[in-house]
Amino acid sequence: MKKKTFRILLYITGFVLLVIVLMPTHYRRAIIHGHANIDDYRIFENRSVQNAQTIPWQHDSLYNSPTINPAQMTVFDTFGTTAFVVIRNNKILYEQYWDGTSDTTRSNSFSAAKSIISILIGCLTDEGKIKSLDQPITDFLPDFKNTNGFTLTIKDLLTMSSGIEWDEGYSSLFSPTTKAYYGNVLNEQILGLKIGSEPGKIFNYQSCNTQLLAMIVAKASGKPVSEYASEKLWKPLGAEHPALWSLDQSGGVEKAYCCFNSTARDFARIGQMVLDSGQFNKQQIVSKAFLENALTPATQLKDEAGDSCYYYGYQFWLMSHKGHKIAYARGILGQYIFIIPDLDAVVVRLGTDRSKGYLNHAPKDAYTYLDAAFEMLEK
């Protein structure tokens, strides 16, 4: 009897293993690795975004003298904060790291990378390699054929109003987002999508839009996205460390809608550059005009609830809190780069989770990090 039971278990185990082996790559990876994590660059192939000469951050005269109050710290702990950096007047006012991390620890940006792609589109526009944001994407991607008779422009992608059929689901094994994250044929997947409704009308947040923008970056620049980002962004920003951009396969393409891996201090450089109207260390990285448009809400669009899209620009989120207007990049596990112009401040928060609740289209935990920063900045 025991031998029979053992044989049955052996057959079942063999069958399950065979099914897993024969599964498409993204199913297999998703089952093995489960939920996405901030250190997933360890399980993917990566391309380096090279830095050059570091431009060190200076410390504010009150460096690390402020504190986070206990009520706020409860939220910091609840959502697994790993890094919190506050920049004031281009100097580090406060930084703290948790859970064994430090100022040299890389974290996945997740969708905060979308804002980086927006900046690179701005650089290409400044160079004249993109003539207009109203250009059809087929000028660069002629293999995108399923247009359904519509004209899809770069601006439609920037404002998340492409009308493409795409399920932005993160928990389903069968969603296209899961395939994009764990799969190994990303460009092929994206080029196979089709437009289902008229572009430029409805705001609908979709990672496929950013991936199409990245394909345009590669085509217009003639370089891999990481190489162009190194040249136009990472080296001029004086980053302390090379970043890693995860690929769909060895020698493949960047998962540009996510998966830019860097440190909190280096993420803050992006925020500082945006705060300073596209300049960093007296060098104009992207034009002030592009950023002004990028940080203007796309109110000509309606969202799926029929409300005006007052909270999104060109791959940047927008919010107001306590009288401050804030632009920010954000990722699914609580990756934030907040830009607060009237306080001349940048705030970076990294972590392993974020609130599932929203207030005015911003995750509720974001307000706590801003409140903590406001208290420090006001002192």
Three state DSSP letters for 16-69: HHHHHHHCCHHHHHHHHHCCCCCCHHHCCCEEEECCCCCCCCEECCCCCCCCCC
16 and 115 assigned to the same domain? no
Cα–Cα distance measured from residue 324 to residue 75, given in angstroms and rounded to the nearest whole number:
21
Q: Which helix (H) or strand (E) covers residue 314, if one does?
A: none
Residues 6+ apart with CB under 8 A from 322: 370, 371, 374
263 and 292 assigned to the same domain? yes
Tokens found for residue 201: 């009308």
Cα–Cα distance measured from residue 298 to residue 15, given in angstroms and rounded to the nearest whole number:
52
- Evaluate whether residue 247 is within a structural domain: yes
Cα–Cα distance measured from residue 269 to residue 253, given in angstroms and rounded to the nearest whole number:
25
Would you state the torsion angle of the CA atoms of residues 309, 312, 315, 319, taken in this order, to the nearest 10 degrees? -170
The backbone torsions φ and ψ at residue 175, rounded to the nearest 5 degrees and listed phi first, read -75, 155
25 and 95 assigned to the same domain? no
Domain total in the chain: 2
Residue type present at position 58:
Q
| Contact criterion met (CB below 8 Å) for 218 and 210 | no
Cα angle: 157, vertex 127, 162; to 5 degrees: 5
Core vs surface per residue 129-165: b (16+ CB within 10 A) or e = ebeebebbbeebbeebeebeebebbbbbbbbbbbbbe
Tokens found for residue 113: 């990378």
Q: What Rg, from alpha-carbon coordinates, does the chain have? A: 21
Residue 4 CA, chain-centre distance (Å), reads 53
345 and 245 assigned to the same domain? yes
257 and 319 assigned to the same domain? yes
| Contact criterion met (CB below 8 Å) for 106 and 263 | yes
- Evaluate whether residue 160 is within a structural domain: no
283 and 336 assigned to the same domain? yes
258 and 336 assigned to the same domain? yes
280 strand-pairing partners: 283
- Evaluate whether residue 348 is within a structural domain: yes
Secondary structure (3-state) at 256: coil
| Contact criterion met (CB below 8 Å) for 348 and 83 | yes
CA neighbours within 13 Å on the CB side: how many for 253? 23
Q: Which structural domain, as residue segments, surrounds residue 13?
A: 2-33
- Evaluate whether residue 365 is within a structural domain: yes
326 and 368 assigned to the same domain? yes
241 and 119 assigned to the same domain? yes
15 and 95 assigned to the same domain? no
| Contact criterion met (CB below 8 Å) for 253 and 187 | yes
- pLDDT of amino acid 16: 44
- Evaluate whether residue 208 is within a structural domain: no
- Evaluate whether residue 260 is within a structural domain: yes
Cα–Cα distance measured from residue 173 to residue 89, given in angstroms and rounded to the nearest whole number:
45
- pLDDT of amino acid 36: 84
- pLDDT of amino acid 192: 96
- Evaluate whether residue 325 is within a structural domain: yes
| Contact criterion met (CB below 8 Å) for 239 and 51 | yes
Q: Which residue has the tokens 């009237």?
A: 342
Cα–Cα distance measured from residue 77 to residue 95, given in angstroms and rounded to the nearest whole number:
15
- Evaluate whether residue 19 is within a structural domain: yes
Q: CA of 94: how far to CAs of 57, 323, 334, 347, in Å?
A: 12, 22, 19, 10
- pLDDT of amino acid 175: 83
CATH assignment of the domain containing 50: 3.40.710.10
365 and 260 assigned to the same domain? yes
Cα–Cα distance measured from residue 23 to residue 314, given in angstroms and rounded to the nearest whole number:
37
359 strand-pairing partners: 362
Tokens found for residue 137: 């994407």
337 and 245 assigned to the same domain? yes
Q: What is the pLDDT along the chain (379 residues), one digit of tens a residue?
A: 456 665 655 555 554 444 444 456 655 555 655 678 999 999 999 999 999 999 999 999 999 999 999 999 999 999 999 999 999 999 999 999 999 999 999 999 999 999 999 999 999 999 999 999 999 999 999 999 999 999 999 999 999 999 999 999 876 677 888 999 999 999 999 999 999 999 999 999 999 999 999 999 999 999 999 999 999 999 999 999 999 999 999 999 999 999 999 999 999 999 999 999 999 999 999 999 999 999 999 999 999 899 999 999 999 999 999 999 999 999 999 999 999 999 999 999 999 999 999 999 999 999 999 999 999 998 7
